Structure 1
Amino acid sequence: MSTTNGHLGVTPPISTSESNDREKEVTVTLMEELRRQGTFETEEEAKRREIVLGRLASLVKRFVTRIGIKQGLSQAAAEASGGKIFTFGSYRLGVHGPGSDIDTLCVVPKHVSREDFFEDFEEMLKATEGVDEASAVPDAYVPIIKTKISGIPIDLLMARLALSSIPDTLTLQDDNLLRNLDERCVRSLNGSRVTDEILRLVPNIEVFRDSLRCIKLWAQRRAIYSNVNGFLGGVAWAMLVARICQLYPNAIAGAIVSRFFIIMYQWTWPQPVLLKQIEEGPLPVRVWNPKLYPADRAHRMPIITPAYPSMCATHNVTASTQMIMTEEFKKGSEIVDRVIVGSADWSELFSKHDFFHKYRYYLQVIASTGSSELQIKWAGTVESRIRQLVMKLEYVDSLTLAHPFIKGFEQVLHCLSEEELRAAAQGDVSDAVAKRKKEEIEGKEGASSIYLTSFYIGLAIEPKQAGSVGPRKLDISYPTTEFAKLVKMWDKYDGSNMGIIVRHIKATALPDYVFDEGERQPRSALKRPKNGKGADKTNGTSPDVPSSKRRRSVQ
């Protein structure tokens, strides 16, 4: 998308009018509410981030120098090889909040390999003062090192350019930098290139930032902010807000947010006219590029990145997640309409989701191992495939919707026996095990700890047909069994120390940890089934627990 046609975007603005007095009033109240909601970090934390990034930049240069000397370069040549970091995502866009991570790209010259980065650089990170953790995931779709420096979480990507040195003046805007790079490097570079292009193409950066901060908070509170689970990720939300800013270049944040919900609801519903709307171009979908490629027709909500090579940022959206987002756009538009006329406050827009109160039945997916480091990788692998389970569930008769929650819940449980450990791996956690501390099992024979991450999918079942008799059967054994097979196809899967369970439970049997304090309704009449936590051990339960004897050997 270029500006050579006299306007930002591939279609002219819908309106160039200035915001009216009421829109200015609600913008003031919106910013006040965003501050009340704690979306802005303190000046002290902002300075700490700058210091951490400065330290990281120095570490990258030392790493490149170290590898250069290993490759036989002289000290001077190795030091001249440079190395540079670029931030992208919410931090680069200027919409990050307290405690949020920093997406960072490490750009290195051609003599530094990917193996060097995920071995030598990870070691250097772990040896650096103030680094609390560092965990590499080199086999991810976009290879990454997750670390925490002075309490600031950082996601580190790596790109190796076909250059002998990386100067401090380097920018990533030139498409020629992508020549002769492998796909993983191109994907790693894409985040930074897309972020910079978005900032270049919005008419007013401050209005864009204020509006995006609002939409991000809303999407997080409504539990629809997760690319991996089939909703929209940060870059997709940013592109949508940027497009609304282009369509109303002289509007301020309150007006942009109002128009965002109206247009988004029109875009996602009704579905039958979606392709026609995309081709005509007034709505915020493939408007980054006017040509609609045939591949994009397979995507339910195609939002295409503005930097070369253009990619669909929403290929994970499923029929279920699109329905859920459409309903949220509708609710959001109704609330904002009432805010504009003065019958509602902005706080209503940011009310918490009702996911764990919404359905009668849920699927619980439990990933388990015997070590914290292994659990990060195994749980991440399982989470990355939850979307495949949702898509399989969408074909089950009588199931109208499969609603994945946007994050997993982690537990570390300390068990005194193999029986306790095996039960915990299947989600049957007694109060005694849940409350037990690590020191209570130290030195005791047969005792061990287990690490669990539980994911949840809400199941919406179609109403019982009038005149039908007898109980209905919902057979989800095929999708759950196929999902278990799929995650075990991971090349690093080891059944001796990794467990995967898929089971369905009633809402009344949901564990307390999914609720905020005081949120759960009293359950005085609830009796716990003998098989534990309300699990139904019929169709839909896929136990796969590694041998507890072998599990204890995991360090």
Structure 2
Amino acid sequence: MAAGKEFLGVTPPISTAESSEREKEVTITLMDELRRQNTFESEEEAKIREIVLGRLASLVKLFVRKVSISKGLSEAAANAAGGKIFTFGSYRLGVHGPGSDIDTLCVVPKHVSREDFFDVFEPLLREAEGVSEVSGVPEAFVPIIKIKISNIPIDLLMARLALSSIPDDLSLKDDNLLRNLDERCVRSLGGSRVTDEILRLVPNVQVFRDSLRCIKLWAQRRAIYSNVNGFLGGVAWAMLVARICQLYPNAIAGAIVSRFFIIMYQWSWPQPVLLKQIEEGPLQVRVWNPKLYPTDRSHRMPIITPAYPSMCSTHNVTASTQMIMTEEFKKGAEVVDKVIVGSASWSELFTKHDFFHKYRYYLQVIASTGNSDLQIKWSGTVESRIRQLVMKLEYVDSLKIAHPFIKGFDQVSYCLSEDEVRAVAQGEISDAIANRKKEDVEGKEGVNPVYSTTFYIGLAIEPKPAGAVGPRRLDISYPTTEFTKLVKSWEKFDESTMGIVVRHIRSSSLPDNVFDKGERPPKLVQKRSKGAGKSSNISPEAPNKKPRSSQSMSEIPLKATENGGALIPAALSSVMETFDPFPPKNTEDIKTPQLPFGENAAVATGAVGVQ
């Protein structure tokens, strides 16, 4: 228990009662269901992970020794410099599943720089036996190297402490270790320090793990598990579950899960979720003052990390994603209530999301390049800014919710002509291109691979006012144009190698790769209305029509890379389809910001005809 009081957390427990017999029964069935859902890894995979982490620890020591020698240290000093790894995230919390990655922190002494981490350690990893898919991202908010060792994915962060050597028994709990560190090192250390603090602040670690494993699976299935896209990430979900465990310290997993949904649905946001009292630390660290966060009105669902320096783990939440999560909490509470009384099973809680069946209209954000390594960085950059597009869309009249999906869909298209490259960059991938495999084009000249990642945002439109006649128009030109400008402002953006296209489509035009096999609803065939005057019917069931644009693809110049790879033309960046098959001929009345590259306003207007 916390020093000076008889309970964990910032308030006394709601109840210290033991779980009822019924709650014990549903806990047994919950654990059985989690096993059926394959959320536990096998003993064999667990042993492999331990071996992999042992190898990684040796590689870190080798890296530190190599840098130490290069900087003039003696053999004895280089060997004593040490270096240590710490795990955090789902693996450290004990809720990881088969195939999940391991979040790992490499702690090095003061003479090893961040540049050494990427210039020395990354090449060393590439040469190490059993290591594959090495990809460093030094410019990330938290610089990272992604690797695989024996097919186990690992995310490597690095922190340099103000110590001449790193002993094997080092603990990161001491706040004084953060003295005089730069902000990136403080952020890197935060993951491990927060994870350890969460485990220290829960009354029963095993109950916490069982409950969190359930909530994590539920959030993933309901497509609300993603910090970058405005929902909650792993650390936020862990803190929410930990807080419920503090409020019911003697409850078991079934009871914790039941109370979780009820409390989360009724929670009075923006009341901050705290696992412990926030205290001002004495350290001079150039990071945010933790006392400001609980009163910061810009944070809609503040969940504050318990380790110094405390941070808000939910600063990405928007008005739309908050409403979506609140609705999911409500649905979850209804299902769990039925489970408790015996009228439903736990499997109903883990029903897959209905994102691609839920809306009539969607935005597609397509990031594309001609190089696989470049695509990883470019698509990651675009994804990190999707939240900004959502926030801008929320200000559009008649748009209730802009719902981002939690991941992008990757695709490689092998194009045989410039026309095909243009089409793919626009998101128009024919069956011929989609079915074309790498082996089908080997040895052929003029083959251009196009790597694309497509992100989706569902658009919920307000109901048509009573008595309104005819289709309405939803002008999303400003947010979409500002978004393309934003992603192009990335310091490494190159218009000759990177493409960004934003367009809106109907639900009936969604590509097959967003659906599981047999999941796509059958398309209804309707007779086409006669006469142009009856063409405003744009229901999802209406037959697809070829999108019109005031500028055809063939009129847009296309370049090619020096090495033969496909370059996505920058001029495609703002080209967008319109839902209305007969857009207004007079574009002078359409007010839209100045568009780059001289596109006609009608091309990028984004004026969506809606029913």
Question: Counterparts of 1:399 and 1:253 in 2: how far apart (Å)?
Answer: 39
- Judge conservation of contact 2:89–2:192 (CA < 8 Å) in 1: yes
1:59–1:22 Cα change, 3 Å: same
What is the CA-CA distance between 1:525 and the residue it aligns to? 2.1
1:123–1:248 Cα change, 3 Å: same
What is the CA-CA distance between 1:119 and the residue it aligns to? 1.5
**What residue in structure 2 maps to residue 513 of structure 1?**
513
- Judge conservation of contact 1:142–1:188 (CA < 8 Å) in 2: yes
SS at 2:332's partner residue? helix
SS at 1:186's partner residue? helix
| 1:394 equivalenced with 2:394 (yes/no) | yes
What is the CA-CA distance between 1:437 and the residue it aligns to? 1.1
**What do you get for the CA RMSD once the two structures are aligned?**
2.3
- Judge conservation of contact 2:321–2:403 (CA < 8 Å) in 1: yes
Question: Counterparts of 1:251 and 1:101 in 2: how far apart (Å)?
Answer: 30
Match of 2:269 among 260, 274, 292: 274
Alignment-mate amino acid for residue 454 of structure 1: T
Total equivalences in the alignment: 540
Deviations 1:107-159 (A, max 9, x none): 00011000000121110111111112110111111111111111100000000
Question: Counterparts of 2:265 and 2:557 in 1: how far apart (Å)?
Answer: 46
| 1:105 equivalenced with 2:105 (yes/no) | yes
What is the CA-CA distance between 1:523 and the residue it aligns to? 2.0
Which segments of structure 1 move beyond 4 Å, counting only runs of 4 or more?
526-529, 532-539, 541-546
What is the CA-CA distance between 1:192 and the residue it aligns to? 0.1
**What residue in structure 2 maps to residue 285 of structure 1?**
273
The residue correspondences of 1:140-159 to structure 2 (distance < 5 A) are 140-159=140-159
Deviations 1:417-446 (A, max 9, x none): 111011101100000000101122233232
Unaligned runs of 5+ in 2: 280-290, 529-537, 567-611
**What residue in structure 1 maps to residue 128 of structure 2?**
128
Question: Counterparts of 2:410 and 2:548 in 1: how far apart (Å)?
Answer: 23
**What residue in structure 2 maps to residue 60 of structure 1?**
60
Question: Counterparts of 2:223 and 2:122 in 1: how far apart (Å)?
Answer: 33
| 1:40 equivalenced with 2:40 (yes/no) | yes
1:95–1:545 Cα change, 3 Å: farther
Bigger Cα displacement from structure 2, 436-445 vs 385-394: 436-445
- Judge conservation of contact 2:122–2:134 (CA < 8 Å) in 1: yes
| 1:314 equivalenced with 2:325 (yes/no) | no
TM-score (norm 1): 0.94
**What residue in structure 1 maps to residue 580 of structure 2?**
none
SS at 1:274's partner residue? coil
**What residue in structure 2 maps to residue 281 of structure 1?**
none
By percentage of residues, which structure has more helix?
Answer: 1
1:158–1:398 Cα change, 3 Å: same
Deviations 1:166-205 (A, max 9, x none): 0000010000000010000000000000000000110000
The residue correspondences of 1:462-473 to structure 2 (distance < 5 A) are 462-473=462-473
SS at 1:523's partner residue? coil
1:535–1:187 Cα change, 3 Å: farther
**What residue in structure 2 maps to residue 211 of structure 1?**
211
**What residue in structure 2 maps to residue 360 of structure 1?**
360
SS at 1:455's partner residue? strand
1:249–1:409 Cα change, 3 Å: same
SS at 1:87's partner residue? strand
SS at 2:62's partner residue? helix
Deviations 1:240-287 (A, max 9, x none): 0000000000000000000000000001xxxxx535xx3xxxxx7135
SS at 1:400's partner residue? strand
- Judge conservation of contact 1:11–1:287 (CA < 8 Å) in 2: no
Question: Counterparts of 1:100 and 1:546 in 2: how far apart (Å)?
Answer: 43
The residue correspondences of 1:12-411 to structure 2 (distance < 5 A) are 12-267=12-267, 274-275=269-270, 278=271, 285-289=273-277, 293=292, 295-411=295-411
Alignment-mate amino acid for residue 85 of structure 1: I
What is the CA-CA distance between 1:328 and the residue it aligns to? 0.1
Question: Counterparts of 1:333 and 1:296 in 2: how far apart (Å)?
Answer: 29
Deviations 1:14-55 (A, max 9, x none): 100000100000000000000000000000000010010000
Deviations 1:496-553 (A, max 9, x none): 1100000000000000000000000122628999xx98675569x9999983423864
- Judge conservation of contact 2:9–2:274 (CA < 8 Å) in 1: no
**What residue in structure 2 maps to residue 550 of structure 1?**
561
**What residue in structure 1 maps to residue 284 of structure 2?**
none
Question: Counterparts of 2:478 and 2:545 in 1: how far apart (Å)?
Answer: 21
1:145–1:544 Cα change, 3 Å: farther
- Judge conservation of contact 2:449–2:565 (CA < 8 Å) in 1: no
- Judge conservation of contact 2:239–2:275 (CA < 8 Å) in 1: no
SS at 1:197's partner residue? helix
SS at 1:335's partner residue? helix
- Judge conservation of contact 1:64–1:108 (CA < 8 Å) in 2: yes
What is the CA-CA distance between 1:103 and the residue it aligns to? 0.2
**What residue in structure 1 maps to residue 6 of structure 2?**
6
Question: Counterparts of 1:526 and 1:440 in 2: how far apart (Å)?
Answer: 37
Question: Counterparts of 2:414 and 2:269 in 1: how far apart (Å)?
Answer: 52
Bigger Cα displacement from structure 2, 444-453 vs 214-223: 444-453
- Judge conservation of contact 1:101–1:152 (CA < 8 Å) in 2: yes
Question: Counterparts of 2:496 and 2:555 in 1: how far apart (Å)?
Answer: 11
Question: Counterparts of 2:555 and 2:30 in 1: how far apart (Å)?
Answer: 49
Question: Counterparts of 1:321 and 1:156 in 2: how far apart (Å)?
Answer: 29
Question: Counterparts of 2:375 and 2:9 in 1: how far apart (Å)?
Answer: 44
SS at 1:549's partner residue? coil
**What residue in structure 2 maps to residue 270 of structure 1?**
none
- Judge conservation of contact 1:363–1:456 (CA < 8 Å) in 2: yes
Unaligned runs of 5+ in 1: 268-272, 279-283
SS at 1:11's partner residue? coil
Percent sequence identity is 76
**What residue in structure 1 maps to residue 532 of structure 2?**
none
Question: Counterparts of 1:57 and 1:486 in 2: how far apart (Å)?
Answer: 40
- Judge conservation of contact 2:363–2:456 (CA < 8 Å) in 1: yes
**What residue in structure 1 maps to residue 570 of structure 2?**
none
Bigger Cα Rg: 2
- Judge conservation of contact 2:448–2:565 (CA < 8 Å) in 1: no
